[in-house]
A and B are shown apart, each in its own frame.
Chain A
Amino acid sequence: MTRDELKQKVKHESSMRRVESNIILKIHDTWNVCCEEFRRIFHDPGVIVLFFVAVIAYPLLYNVLYYKNALTEVPVAVVDMDHSTESRKFIHDYHATSEVEVTHMCMSMAEAEDLLKHGVVRGILYIPSDFNNNLASGLKTATLSLFCDMSSFLYMKNVYLGANKVMLQDMYDIQIQRYEAMNMDKELSWAIVQASPYEENVMFVESGGYGHFLIPCVLVLILHQTLIFGISMLTGTAAQENREVFILPGRRRRYSTFRILIGRGLAYFIIYMAMASYTVILVPRLFGLPQVGQVGDILKWMVPFLISTIYFGILLSSFMKERETGMVMLMPSSLIFLFMSGVSWPVLSMPEAWQWVGSFVPYTWGVHSFLHLNSMGATLDTTSYEYIMMWVLSIAYFTASCIVYLLRARRYEKRRLHEQYGEDLTTMERRELDELIHSQEEAEIREMEASLLQAFQSAKKHITRAPDDDAQEDIDTRFDD
């Protein structure tokens, strides 16, 4: 043992003894657990990929993927059997909408259908030959037909919305013309045609684009899932290497559950406060996503969201015996959690059982609360229900993890006592014997520490007296004694 190592050891032991307060000792333990967890995280490339690479790269990837946000100018084909001014005007207006682009004019329906079936166009507008006649005669309603590709509902939305817009405008024009022909003035005609005009306001996500809807949900999901996978990877690794994660290393005490859980949680929490700030505050700014919420509120949102997710992850992972189990078993859960939260398919259209199950997942409350704060400009007061639910889950999962860890630690302790002291004693006797031996051991350790310190001090004197090569040898021999 070198001089420095010895010095450090003695310093450490004496500092440990100096700390007499139990609470400070416990905080020290907690901090040690936290540091140990940090060390494990940074020594594990698999976890680094999840905690850092995925959390940094995924938001960028999704933003680039949905950079255009909304779908515009969907190609459509038009089959005009009428060839009248009215039909040409309709086609022209349809083409002018931002939703669609008329790319093909077809002579027959068969031709247009062929284009649709091969994905060249995503919709067909069919104008029958009696279109203008019906409009002019005023006896029959003129009917237009739309055909659309259902492979993505966004195609359908655009093809329909564009046609509806044009149809309404055309309808009003025709009606106004007719009333004007009956010698009514323009204002009165409008008052009859559209007795109550409407004003439509898209609130919160003004663009109404798919990207601006999906990305905030995905950002929260990334935090949630990487945390759970990462934690189950770390816990699984520990279980696999037969390291006991349920008790403090080198300690015999069973009741170290709090220290372990708080210490581990703290490590994840510190890392994820930083990662979440990047994901949900910086990324939306970088890409101009809707963000009307206060940064302070979003920071406050992170706290219960991360805590509940961390202890949800710790609880799940405590049942995993292998490093990869979490990943292999929970992979499809990302999609399930996303749909179960009710951001896409509305909560009220869900079977009640799934609403119930969903309320146990931190993501459900986290994503709603985040949307309210971030996209919809709510304050924490407004979204207090979801916020409180996140705290409830945090406490519930922390308590549940404590119970599981406590039970595991007890089982481990029991097994150890059993192995150490054999069959012929009762549990109580084993424990008493253990206490006795332990107190003896402790006394021995204390004695050893004292002698060590003594040795060190005399060695120090020796060194100051004669700083030569023999000093090192001297210390070594004394230490061996």
Chain B
Amino acid sequence: MNFKEIFSTIFRVAKREMKIMYYKPLYFYSTIIVFFVSCIFFLSLLHEGATEDMPIAVVDLDQTSISRRLVHELNSTQGVQCDFRCATFEEARIAMQQGEVYAILVIPKHFYSEMLDFKRPTLTFYTNMAYTLAGTTAYKQLLSFANMVSGAFQREVLRKKGLPDQLIMQRIQPITVDGHMLANPTSNYAVYLCSILLPGILGLIVLIITIYTLGMELKWKTSRELMAEAKGNIILALGGKFLPHTILYCMMGISLNLLLFRILQFPMMGDLWTVNVAVVCLVLAMQAMGIVIVGLLPVLRDAISIGALYGMMGFSCSGFTFPVTGMLPAFRGLVNIFPLRHYFRIYSNEALMGNPFVDSLPIFIYLVIFMILPLGVMIRLRNAFINQNYPLK
């Protein structure tokens, strides 16, 4: 077969596939619409970028003007909102168990008078870590509040002694920590989550649709027709079949990246086009995994369930929420079977670290390995396509 013939064959199969896609609205809904909705959802959900005004309960047993002023002071901070003023701890605990508040601050009885007597009254706070993010936000705010209270008292004492203000500051705070969060200086959650979650969702869609389209050929027994179109060559058949899909998903992936890094101005320290190449590789790797799953299990009903389990696992295993180094050693190798893991590494290499392309190259090789995998199931898949000897449903 010469080049011209190969091209015309692929083109013919692709044309057939486009006809299928056109007459089946499911393709349109489950790719473009579902992906669009997911993008809108995550970007609008996280548009604030940081958790603010977490409701907390305050149990003020002191009830003096000072304690009230402290609560007011705390209320005006960014992290928390003192929505619940409770008379007893019991009341506050129930509010916390109902999920109304994420933390409780208890100001003890005679707080102010004991403080004036140098008796060191204790502020107590309780945080709810069943909601990690909200609990941590409230915890951080309460911690800095407690330190602020002590600092304010010390400042007053030193003022009375007649120290100049500049020295007082140094006295109260001899050391400070100055933080630099690389590439994401405001620790924006939208940047952190959307940059990986959305390509991940694209990958998931690609995987499921790949399994679905291949499985449908077997299910409706149209696979012989496909093989006839491709002149019996399984590689040309798959190449032509997935050509329109690949173009569509790559366009979706690249426009997602353009949206995130160009329009929404997410941080990008490195080269955007490397990340775009990575998204293309992610799409191809996911398609390859879909072919492998159908190749091993040429029954649509089982393959799609297995594909779903595999696809969902990828999110947890990619290591952007819980780092891979925190997993059991036996699992650290296993995460490599998920293309999203490699995409995440390329993304963090490029966008967050701004490393040169050479550093991302070995990771690209991993993604290329995924693309070679389907060759192993080609013969099995061809036999399944021609013999159609698997249960259908």
Interface residues of A (CB under 8 A from B): 44-46, 49-50, 53-54, 57-58, 61-62, 64-68, 70-72, 74, 116-119, 134-135, 138-157, 160, 163-164, 167-168, 170-171, 174-175, 178, 187-188, 190-208, 210-214, 216, 229, 233, 237, 290, 322-325, 327-329, 331-332, 334-336, 339-340, 343-346, 348-351, 354, 368, 371-372, 375-378, 382-383, 385
Q: How far is the CA of A150 from the CA of B177 in the complex (A)?
A: 17
B3 within 8 A of A: no
Across the interface, B125 reaches (CB within 8 A) one of A145, A198, A207, A378, namely: A198
1/0 contact trace for B300-328 toward A, CB 8 Å? 11101110110111011101111101111
| A205 and B130 contacting across the interface, CB-CB below 8 Å | yes
Across the interface, B321 reaches (CB within 8 A) one of A58, A135, A152, A167, namely: A152
- Closest Cβ of chain A to B193, distance in Å, is 8
B283 within 8 A of A: no
Across the interface, A346 reaches (CB within 8 A) one of B115, B122, B129, B131, namely: B131
Given contacts A45-B301, A323-B393, A349-B48, is CB(A199)–CB(B122) below 8 Å? yes
| B308 and A331 contacting across the interface, CB-CB below 8 Å | yes
* Segment among B165-173, B240-248, B272-280, B372-380 that sits at the interface with chain A: B165-173
| A198 and B122 contacting across the interface, CB-CB below 8 Å | yes
B149 within 8 A of A: yes
* Segment among B12-20, B207-215, B257-265 that sits at the interface with chain A: B207-215
Given contacts A153-B187, A351-B47, is CB(A54)–CB(B122) below 8 Å? no
Given contacts A68-B328, A190-B120, A354-B44, is CB(A348)–CB(B304) below 8 Å? no
B141 within 8 A of A: no
B153: A residues at CB distance < 8 A: 192, 195-196
Q: How far is the CA of A213 from the CA of B305 in the complex (A)?
A: 27
Q: How far is the CA of A381 from the CA of B136 in the complex (A)?
A: 27
Question: In chain B, what residue has the closest Cβ to A339?
Answer: B45
Across the interface, B121 reaches (CB within 8 A) one of A49, A62, A119, A196, namely: A196
Given contacts A210-B321, A331-B34, 9 further A-B pairs with CB under 8 A are: A144-B177, A145-B178, A163-B177, A199-B123, A213-B130, A214-B132, A336-B38, A346-B54, A349-B52
Q: How far is the CA of A235 from the CA of B128 in the complex (A)?
A: 41
- Closest Cβ of chain A to B177, distance in Å, is 5
* Segment among B90-98, B224-232, B286-294, B381-389 that sits at the interface with chain A: B90-98
6 closest A-B pairs by CB: A195-B153, A191-B118, A46-B301, A198-B146, A151-B348, A49-B305
Question: In chain A, what residue has the closest Cβ to B355?
Answer: A117
Q: Which B116-171 residues sit within 8 Å CB-CB of chain A? A: 118-136, 139, 142-143, 146-147, 149-150, 153-154, 157, 167, 169-171
B354: A residues at CB distance < 8 A: 117
Q: How far is the CA of A391 from the CA of B326 in the complex (A)?
A: 40
Given contacts A188-B118, A349-B51, is CB(A62)–CB(B316) below 8 Å? yes
A150: B residues at CB distance < 8 A: 181-184, 187, 192, 352
- Closest Cβ of chain B to A425, distance in Å, is 36
Interface residues of B (CB under 8 A from A): 26, 29-30, 34-35, 38, 41-42, 44-48, 51-55, 94, 96-99, 102, 111, 115, 118-136, 139, 142-143, 146-147, 149-150, 153-154, 157, 167, 169-171, 173-184, 187, 189, 192, 197, 201, 204-205, 208-209, 212, 215, 299-302, 304-306, 308-309, 311-313, 315-317, 319-323, 325-328, 331, 344, 348, 352-355, 359, 393
Question: In chain A, what residue has the closest Cβ to B94?
Answer: A382
| B205 and A331 contacting across the interface, CB-CB below 8 Å | yes
- Closest Cβ of chain A to B201, distance in Å, is 5
| B133 and A345 contacting across the interface, CB-CB below 8 Å | yes
A229: B residues at CB distance < 8 A: 305, 308
| B52 and A192 contacting across the interface, CB-CB below 8 Å | no
Given contacts A201-B126, A328-B208, A331-B208, is CB(A164)–CB(B326) below 8 Å? no
Q: How far is the CA of A64 from the CA of B317 in the complex (A)?
A: 12
Question: In chain A, what residue has the closest Cβ to B185?
Answer: A150
Question: In chain B, what residue has the closest Cβ to A173?
Answer: B174
Across the interface, B124 reaches (CB within 8 A) one of A49, A157, A199, A216, namely: A199
Q: How far is the CA of A190 from the CA of B153 in the complex (A)?
A: 12
Across the interface, A141 reaches (CB within 8 A) one of B35, B111, B170, namely: B170
Across the interface, B130 reaches (CB within 8 A) one of A140, A154, A375, namely: A375
Across the interface, B41 reaches (CB within 8 A) one of A61, A141, A170, A336, namely: A336
| A354 and B41 contacting across the interface, CB-CB below 8 Å | yes
- Closest Cβ of chain A to B44, distance in Å, is 6
Q: How far is the CA of A458 from the CA of B176 in the complex (A)?
A: 103
| B123 and A196 contacting across the interface, CB-CB below 8 Å | yes
| A191 and B120 contacting across the interface, CB-CB below 8 Å | yes
| B125 and A200 contacting across the interface, CB-CB below 8 Å | yes
Q: How far is the CA of A290 from the CA of B130 in the complex (A)?
A: 9
| B175 and A141 contacting across the interface, CB-CB below 8 Å | yes
- Closest Cβ of chain A to B264, distance in Å, is 16
Question: In chain A, what residue has the closest Cβ to B301?
Answer: A46
A68: B residues at CB distance < 8 A: 326-328
Q: How far is the CA of A157 from the CA of B48 in the complex (A)?
A: 20
Given contacts A149-B182, A346-B134, A372-B99, is CB(A332)–CB(B34) below 8 Å? yes
Q: How far is the CA of A170 from the CA of B173 in the complex (A)?
A: 11
| A191 and B130 contacting across the interface, CB-CB below 8 Å | no
Q: How far is the CA of A138 from the CA of B149 in the complex (A)?
A: 22
Q: How far is the CA of A192 from the CA of B163 in the complex (A)?
A: 15
A213: B residues at CB distance < 8 A: 129-132
Q: How far is the CA of A116 from the CA of B354 in the complex (A)?
A: 11
B177: A residues at CB distance < 8 A: 143-146, 160, 163-164, 167
A45: B residues at CB distance < 8 A: 299, 301-302
B124: A residues at CB distance < 8 A: 198-201
Q: How far is the CA of A322 from the CA of B304 in the complex (A)?
A: 13
Question: In chain A, what residue has the closest Cβ to B320?
Answer: A152
Q: How far is the CA of A187 from the CA of B124 in the complex (A)?
A: 21
Q: How far is the CA of A375 from the CA of B99 in the complex (A)?
A: 11
| B170 and A194 contacting across the interface, CB-CB below 8 Å | no
Question: In chain A, what residue has the closest Cβ to B102?
Answer: A346
The winner among B41, B209, B215 for most chain A CB atoms within 10 A is B41
Q: How far is the CA of A148 from the CA of B149 in the complex (A)?
A: 29
| A71 and B181 contacting across the interface, CB-CB below 8 Å | no
B130: A residues at CB distance < 8 A: 204-205, 213, 216, 290, 371, 375-376
- Closest Cβ of chain B to A9, distance in Å, is 30
| A148 and B178 contacting across the interface, CB-CB below 8 Å | no
A350: B residues at CB distance < 8 A: 45
Across the interface, B301 reaches (CB within 8 A) one of A44, A117, A192, A375, namely: A44
The winner among B42, B174, B315 for most chain A CB atoms within 10 A is B174
| A196 and B201 contacting across the interface, CB-CB below 8 Å | no
Given contacts A146-B180, A327-B308, A349-B51, is CB(A205)–CB(B129) below 8 Å? yes
Given contacts A154-B326, A156-B187, is CB(A64)–CB(B208) below 8 Å? no
| A160 and B122 contacting across the interface, CB-CB below 8 Å | no
Q: How far is the CA of A53 from the CA of B310 in the complex (A)?
A: 13
- Closest Cβ of chain A to B290, distance in Å, is 12
Question: In chain A, what residue has the closest Cβ to B348?
Answer: A151
- Closest Cβ of chain A to B362, distance in Å, is 11
| B322 and A211 contacting across the interface, CB-CB below 8 Å | yes
Across the interface, B170 reaches (CB within 8 A) one of A64, A139, A198, A214, namely: A139
| A144 and B178 contacting across the interface, CB-CB below 8 Å | yes
Q: How far is the CA of A350 from the CA of B134 in the complex (A)?
A: 12
Across the interface, A135 reaches (CB within 8 A) one of B154, B175, B178, namely: B175
- Closest Cβ of chain B to A338, distance in Å, is 10
